Structure 1
Amino acid sequence: MAKVLEGFGRDSILPTKSNERTMGLFSTFALWLAANVVITSVMTGMMFLPDISFKDAVIAILLGSAIGAIPLAMTGLIGTRTGLPTMVITRASFGQKGAVLPAIVNTIILVGWSWIQAYMAGLSLNYAVNYAFGYSNINLFVILTEILVVAITIYGHKGVESIEKYVSIAMLILSALVFYKLFTSYDAGALVTMTLSENPALTAVIAFDLVVATAFSWMSSVCDFNRYCKDGKKGMIGTFAGYVVASLIAMGMGAAVSGFSIINGMEQTYDPTVLLTQYGFGLVASIVVFFSVLSTNVMALYSATMSFMNVFTKFGFWKPGLLLGIVCTLGALMKEALMTNFFDFVLLIATLFIPVFAIVIVDFFILKKGRYDAEELVSNTKKLYHYQSGINYVAYVSYIAGAIFAFYFTYIKPLNIGSTILTFVFSGIVYGAFMYATKQVTKSTVTDEVTTTRLDV
């Protein structure tokens, strides 16, 4: 038993050392490709048609993912430079104590995300087993899925990184087969000219906004993995390229599958595996989809564990990972309730976390000139990020203003152009202006004499 425990991950919130950094350009690209060529991204693309045309959907996916991936890669760079997890980095702008609230909220949201992923993986595994052996038990396969997720996660980052490259290759192969089947068996022209909905629920601009929001939803986790990048520039390129390529493949596949299914009068469902079955990819798709969702769920549970450790710093790694895994398993059994609220959940993430990372990016790249004292963020011995009794109230006021802005223009008075980018810009400007107005920039900026953990970009 002792030997088994010794093999578990010993990941901590301390800065990642140079000899612990294992991710180059390809592994970073593979990780973010595998994380996003996933069934929930396919679902997002499915929802675009027939409200908008296939051409507009592809444009929205390309532009939205490219724009959304820029702040995602920038946030990941902070993790590479400091070697710190995402929620520890928020201490620099929110204060040592003030960063507790974002960490708690992030833990809860990631657990909710894991619920959705576990259910989708359970569906795919159930389909594969039912196809091969005639046995069906979704609850059982959801539980088995989450057990496997926990088993991989408790081995730490090495467990996460080890499966991503294989999953990304499998998803690329499946995607190529699906696209080849669709565009050689069906009339591509009919997809381009298909009749659109008379009462569309979304526009091309809203679809673009949703794609951007999906990219932003990863910002609360990106540093947890990019802290293991060997080089800042390659880490940014790998993150940006991996995310954009993954979005084009997954959401584009969803839009194509949905469009052709409507044209050919097939069953409409939120489960892409059902539609892929009707195209002859049932068993293969269910197996590959299972592993893709599994890999993303591992990343969600890993980041939830790191966020938990930012609040409860005395805990080791694998015990909270196991505890959160049990919570994720129980929540995933809510099944249908999760899927009916999927897009509301994505918008909720955007509402809660876009202001946070607008503040973090402005704080790091503008106010702190691209430098944090990583050791100080963990130890709090020099009180560089102490602000007012450990809390930066300017960050909180800016966050509340940004969250209210996002909530109002998302739920109460939705904008025709969406609110994701506007919320990001608004929150960042408010924070920067308030920091200068209260003259906290010079007090909290890391001086040249401070030793930082940093990799050149």
Structure 2
Amino acid sequence: MSEATLVEARSFDFVPETERHGNVRSQVQFWFMVNATLITLYTGGVGPLNGLGLSWTIVAVVLGSVAGTLFQAFHGAQGPRMGLPQMIQSRVQFGSRGAVLPLFAAVVTQFGFAIFYIQTGAQAIVDVSGASQFSLFQIMMGLGAMVVAIIGYGLVLKVEKLASYATLLNLVMLTLAALIYLPIGTMIANPQFALLPFLAQFGASAIYQLAIAPIVSDYTRYLPARTSGAAVSAAVFCGTMLSAVWLEILGSALSIASPGVDLIQAVHELGNSFGFGLGTATMIISACACLITAAITFYSGSVAVLSALEAFRPIRSTAMLRGITIAVGGLFVIFASLSLSSSILTAFSGFLSLLGYFLIPWTAVNLTDYYFVRNGKYSITDIMRPDGGIYGMWGMAGLVSYGLGFVAMIPFFSSPLYTGPIAEILGKADVSFIVGLVVATVSYVVLTRNHDFAGELVTVRAAPLNTLN
């Protein structure tokens, strides 16, 4: 895709060097916006909800975000090097058909989160306008997100860049309002600490960042192959860290200052207290941010769908096919958003958190293979073959490691739908991601120790498309 092309044709397929463009700075703005939605506020309220003071909540937010973002950001370097979206790269570790398991979790998670973005954006519009047509605004948000996603990467990047300036200014103003109108000094001076709430906040912040991992390369693959992998990972890290930590800390302060009040309502009231139309501006900017982020989930969800289908039957990537996939997924999201009541949405949120657990051992296996086992030496030609080529249809080392990592996590799960026995002992603090990452990583290293990588490398070098050129 050239920059002059209106509608992107690429989806799951390789992006040749002639179609690469962009720079690292634009990636910082893009990833900043991915977390710059009011939904992020709720993550920062986990510690205070369980009695943790603001100062220790800030420590937990920062440490948890760093831990989760490190794994998320390392995926960024894979995009320019491989020229492929994130989840199809899993064929190396899991096989072309074995990769359908994490692909399925990625599809449902991406389209599932879109429901919440549409709900939140529509509610922000209702709060500002005073209108009662919540359903109409949901439909408008969904259709708008579909249009942006169908046009594709180029438009998403440009819209995110423009929105980042308004969002940054808005956050600065909200922070000033918080410093003026909230008893920040008093809250900071109260060193209320308890280990279990601290662990709960740490885990929530880390998992919130890890949830982004399945989409990272979708948006770094268009960068020129010569782009420094370290620079790309740093851009992803800094962008998502800044918005996540900023909004989570603001959310934690509002949770303590306004207990029992919905955080979005609390932000609106804080902005109104400051004046200058800040409350109204915040809701409008929030609605725009939700629409754009919903478009991102539509985009990545459709890529994952086509990646899974292509493992069973060769598919030629076209703008029409990508557009139809996004439209079908988008209409499903709009219908679900209109159908689900607020009480059901709470249960659905728990369902999505369980799905997120499926992606944690995938992250471990994928990164371990890329950085330590195969060291980024892949045959793109074989990855794109439905039969998996040298990687096969079923990658047993990846599947077994994934399974072991997931099973090891179950006692540590802590979600609205299920809490494991060890999580109960820990006061429902969720540290399952640590267990999953460690077990899946160690298992994969052990299970691949006897693989003939030297023989595989001969085939990789001979492949028309590979990461060695």
TM-score (norm 2): 0.86
Structure 1 residues 176-208: Cα deviation after superposition (integer angstroms, max 9, x where no partner): 1111011123332222245969xx895112211
Q: Distance in 2 between matches of 1:26 and 1:342?
A: 36
Does the Cα contact within 8 Å between 1:34 and 1:164 map onto a contact in 2?
yes
1:394 aligns with 2:408: no
Q: CA deviation at 1:380?
A: 5.6
* Residues 212/447 of structure 1: CA separation in 2 closer, same or farther (3 Å cut): farther
2:214 to 215, 220, 225: 220
The CA deviation string for residues 366-391 of structure 1, in whole angstroms up to 9 with x for no partner, is 221222112321136882111xxx11
Kindly indicate whether residue 329 of structure 2 is the aligned counterpart of residue 324 of structure 1: yes
Letter in 2 for 1:268: V
CA change 1:128–1:63 in 2 (3 A) is same
Quick one: distance in 2 between partners of 1:137 and 1:195? 45
1:424 corresponds to which residue? 437
Relative to structure 1, the CA distance from residue 64 to residue 427 in structure 2 (aligned partners, 3 Å threshold; closer, same or farther) is: same
Equivalence map 1:14-163=2 (5 Å): 14-50=13-49, 51-130=51-130, 135-163=131-159
Q: Which amino acid aligns with 1:175?
A: L
Q: Is this contact kept in 2: 1:15–1:83, CA < 8 A?
A: yes
Q: 1:303 to 1:92 in 2, by over 3 A?
A: same
Contact 2:109 2:356 in 1 (8 A): no
8 Å contact kept, 1:65–1:243: no
SS at match of 2:22: coil
Write the letter of the residue equivalent to 1:344.
G
Contact 1:377 1:385 in 2 (8 A): yes
Give the structure 2 partner of residue 3 of structure 1: none
1:37 Cα offset (Å): 1.4
Q: Give 1:259's match in structure 2, choosing from 232, 256, 259.
A: 256
Letter aligned with residue 421 of structure 2: K
* Correspondence for 1:295 among 286, 292, 307: 292
CA distance in 2, matches of 1:406, 1:156: 36
1:142-186 CA deviation, whole Å, 9 max, x = no partner? 111001000111001112112111222222111111110111233
Q: Sequence identity, in percent?
A: 20
Q: 1:41 to 1:283 in 2, by over 3 A?
A: same
Deviation of 1:279 after TM superposition, in Å, equals: 4.3
TM superposition shift of 1:290: 0.6
Q: Deviations over 1:95-143 (max 9, x none)?
A: 112112222221112111111111111111222221xxxx212111111
Q: Does 1:366 align with 2:369?
A: no
Seen in structure 2, the aligned counterparts of structure 1 residues 345 and 174 have a Cα distance that, compared at 3 Å, is farther
Q: Is the 8 A contact 2:35 2:240 kept in 1?
A: yes
Matches of 2:182 and 2:357, distance apart in 1: 40
Once the two structures are TM-superposed, the CA of residue 442 in structure 1 deviates from its matched residue by 5.1
Shift of 1:79: 1.9
Please report the TM-score for the alignment, with normalisation by the length of structure 1: 0.89
1:381 and 1:142, CA in 2 relative to 1: closer, same or farther beyond 3 A? closer
Q: Greater CA deviation, 411-420 or 324-333?
A: 411-420
Preserved contact between residue 13 and residue 310 of structure 1 (Cα < 8 Å)? yes
Deviation at 1:52, TM superposition (A): 1.0
Please report how far the alpha carbon of residue 215 of structure 1 lies from its aligned counterpart in structure 2 after TM superposition: 1.1
Distance 1:83 1:429, change over 3 A: same
Is the 8 Å Cα contact of residues 127 and 136 (structure 1) preserved in structure 2? no
**In structure 2, how many angstroms separate the alpha carbons of the residues matched to 1:443 and 1:210?**
43
3-state SS of paired residue (1:16): coil
- Tell me how far apart the structure 1 counterparts of residues 396 and 387 of structure 2 sit (CA, whole Å): 21
* Aligned AA (1:187): P
Q: Post-superposition shift, 1:11?
A: 1.9
Provide, for residues 298-321 of structure 1, a one-character-per-residue CA deviation record: whole Å limited to 9, x for no partner. 111100010011023326211101
- The 3 A distance-change label for structure 1 pair 23 and 233 is farther
SS of 1:136's equivalent? coil
Q: Which residue of 1 aligns with 2:275?
A: none
Q: State how far apart, in whole Å, the 2-side matches of 1:56 and 1:446 are.
A: 53
**1:276 and 2:275 matched:** no
Residues 163, 289 of structure 2: 8 Å contact kept: yes
CA contact (8 A) 2:12 2:304 kept: no
Aligned CA distance change for structure 1 residues 338 and 279 (closer, same or farther; 3 Å): farther
Cα distance in 2, alignment partners of residues 229 and 65 from structure 1 = 26
Aligned length: 436
Q: Supply the AA of the counterpart residue of 2:334.
A: T
| Residues 152-191 of structure 1 aligned to structure 2 (within 5 Å) | 152-191=148-187
Going from structure 1 to structure 2, the CA distance change for 1:382 and 1:143 (only over 3 Å counts) comes to closer
User: SS of the residue aligned with 1:226?
Assistant: coil
- SS of the residue corresponding to residue 214 of structure 2 reads coil
- SS at the partner of 1:139? helix
Whole-angstrom CA distance in 2 between matches of 1:330 and 1:201 = 42
Please tell me the residue identity of whatever aligns with 1:321: I
Q: Are 2:377 and 2:460, in contact at CA under 8 Å, matched by a contact in 1?
A: no
SS of the residue corresponding to residue 391 of structure 2 reads: coil
SS of the aligned residue for 2:151 comes to coil
- Does 2:413 correspond to 1:414? no
Code of the residue aligned with 1:158 in structure 2: it is: G
Q: SS of the counterpart of 2:52? A: coil
Moved more, 289-298 or 306-315: 306-315
Q: Does 1:404 align with 2:407?
A: yes
Confirm or deny: 8 A CA contact 2:148 2:292 kept in the other structure. Answer: no
Q: State how far apart, in whole Å, the 1-side matches of 2:184 and 2:387 are.
A: 63
Q: Does 1:344 align with 2:343?
A: no
Q: Where do residues 241-256 of structure 1 align in structure 2 (5 Å cutoff)?
A: 241-256=238-253
- Contact map agreement 1:118 1:293 (CA 8 A) in 2: yes
Are the counterparts in 1 of residues 94 and 394 from structure 2 also a CA contact under 8 Å? yes
1:426-445 correspondence runs (5 A) = 426-436=439-449, 439=451, 441=453, 444=456
